[in-house]
Amino acid sequence: MMNIISIDPSKASTGVYIKTDIEVYKSTISTNGMSENIGYRHISGIIKSSLDYYNIEVAFLEDYPYKLKESRSNTVMAEVKGIIKYALYSRNIPIILVPISTWKALCKGAFPQAGSKTVLSYS
112 or 29: whose pLDDT is higher?
29
What is residue 10's predicted lDDT score, i.e. its pLDDT? 86
Q: Is 27 helix (H, G, I), strand (E, B) or coil?
A: strand
What H or E segment, with its residue span, contains residue 36? helix 36-53
3-state secondary structure 55-90: CCCEEEEECCCHHHCCCHHHHHHHHHHHHHHHHHHC
What is residue 117's predicted lDDT score, i.e. its pLDDT? 44
pLDDT digits (tens, 9 = 90+) for 47-76: 999 999 999 999 999 887 666 556 655 676
Given a contact cutoff of 8 angstroms between Cβ atoms, the answer to whether 117 and 99 are in contact is yes
Distance CA 35, CA 42 (A): 10
Q: Which residue range is the domain that position 79 belongs to?
A: 4-122
Distance CA 116, CA 123 (A): 20
* CB atoms near residue 40 (< 10 Å): 17
Q: What is the CATH number of the domain that holds 109?
A: 3.30.420.10
Q: Count up the domains in the chain and report the number.
A: 1
pLDDT digits (tens, 9 = 90+) for 75-123: 767 889 999 999 999 999 999 998 877 766 665 654 454 444 444 444 4
